[in-house]
Copies of this chain bind each other. A is one copy, B any other.
Amino acid sequence: MNEKIIELIEEKKFSQLKEELNEMISVDIAELIDELDKKNSIIVFRLLSKDHAAEVFSYLSSAQQKDIVGAMHETKMKEILEELYFDDMIDFLEEMPANVVKKILKASTEEERKLINQFLNYPENSAGSLMTIEYVDLKKEMSVKEALSHIKKIGVDKETIYTCYVLNDKRKLEGIVSLRKLVLMEDDLLISDIMNEDVITTQTIDDQEEIASLFKKYDLITLPVVDKEGRLVGIITIDDIVDVIERENTEDFQKMAAMEPNDEEYLETGIFSLARKRIIWLLVLMVSATFTGSIISRFEDVLSTVVILATFIPMLMDTAGNAGSQSSTLVIRGMALGEIAINDYLKVFWKELRVSVVVGVALGIINFGRMLLLTKAGIPIAFTVSFTLFLTIVMAKVVGGTLPMLAKKLKLDPAIMAGPLITTIVDAMALIVYFNIASLLLGLV
Chain B proximity of A62: nearest CB distance (Å): 15
Contact A274-B355, Cβ < 8 Å, known A242-B216, A326-B258, A329-B254: yes
A205-262 with Cβ < 8 A to chain B: 215-219, 221, 238-239, 241-243, 245-246, 249-250, 252-254, 256-259
Q: Which residue of B lies closest to A350 (CB)?
A: B271
Chain B proximity of A288: nearest CB distance (Å): 8
A21-42 interface code vs B (CB 8 A; 1 in, 0 out): 0010101000000000000000
Q: Which among A106-114, A115-123, A296-304 touches the partner chain?
A: A296-304
Contact A148-B312, Cβ < 8 Å, known A254-B329, A267-B339: no
A311 lies within 8 A of B296 (CB): yes
A384-429 with Cβ < 8 A to chain B: 389, 393, 420, 423-424, 427-428
Q: Which residue of B lies closest to A294 (CB)?
A: B311
Chain B proximity of A156: nearest CB distance (Å): 6
B344 lies within 8 A of A285 (CB): no
Q: Which residue of B lies closest to A252 (CB)?
A: B253
A354: interface (CB < 8 Å): yes
Q: How many residues of chain A get a CB closer than 8 Å to chain B's CBs?
A: 110
A179: interface (CB < 8 Å): yes
A193: interface (CB < 8 Å): no
A289 lies within 8 A of B310 (CB): no
What separation, in Å, do the CA atoms of A155 and B179 have in the docked complex? 12
A427 lies within 8 A of B318 (CB): yes
A333: interface (CB < 8 Å): yes
What separation, in Å, do the CA atoms of A329 and B254 have in the docked complex? 7
Contact A310-B310, Cβ < 8 Å, known A274-B351, A278-B359, A344-B267: yes
What separation, in Å, do the CA atoms of A331 and B217 have in the docked complex? 30
A291-334 interface code vs B (CB 8 A; 1 in, 0 out): 01111110010011001101111110111011101101111011
B218 lies within 8 A of A318 (CB): no
A271 lies within 8 A of B238 (CB): no
Contacting residues, chain B, for A219 (C-beta < 8 A): 27, 239, 242
A323 lies within 8 A of B282 (CB): yes
Q: Which residue of B lies closest to A247 (CB)?
A: B337
A265: interface (CB < 8 Å): yes
What separation, in Å, do the CA atoms of A265 and B351 have in the docked complex? 13
A310 lies within 8 A of B319 (CB): no
B311 lies within 8 A of A307 (CB): no
Chain B proximity of A339: nearest CB distance (Å): 5
Q: Which residue of B lies closest to A293 (CB)?
A: B311
B354 lies within 8 A of A257 (CB): no
A108-160 with Cβ < 8 A to chain B: 148, 151-152, 155-156
Contacting residues, chain B, for A242 (C-beta < 8 A): 215-216, 219, 238, 241-242, 245
A161: interface (CB < 8 Å): yes
Which one, B258, B358, B366, B389, contacts A322 given CB within 8 A?
B258
Question: Could you list which residues of chain A lie within 8 angstroms of chain B, going by C-beta atoms?
Answer: 23, 25, 27, 148, 151-152, 155-156, 161-162, 179-180, 183-184, 198, 200, 215-219, 221, 238-239, 241-243, 245-246, 249-250, 252-254, 256-259, 265-267, 271-272, 274-275, 278-279, 281-283, 285-287, 289-290, 292-297, 300, 303-304, 307-308, 310-315, 317-319, 321-323, 325-326, 328-331, 333-334, 337, 339-340, 344, 347-348, 351, 354-355, 358-359, 362-363, 366-367, 370, 389, 393, 420, 423-424, 427-428, 431
Q: Which 4 A-B residue pairings sit nearest by Cβ, starting from the closest? A: A257-B329, A292-B314, A289-B315, A275-B358
28 pairs, A vs B, C-beta closer than 8 Å = A148-B183, A183-B183, A219-B242, A245-B245, A246-B337, A250-B337, A257-B329, A257-B330, A266-B339, A275-B358, A278-B323, A279-B359, A281-B322, A282-B326, A282-B359, A285-B318, A285-B319, A286-B318, A286-B319, A289-B314, A292-B314, A293-B312, A293-B315, A296-B314, A297-B310, A303-B310, A304-B304, A314-B431
List 19 other contacts, CB 8 Å, given A219-B239, A286-B367.
A27-B219, A148-B183, A162-B179, A179-B179, A179-B183, A183-B183, A216-B243, A254-B329, A257-B326, A259-B326, A278-B355, A282-B323, A282-B393, A287-B370, A290-B315, A293-B314, A300-B308, A318-B427, A322-B423
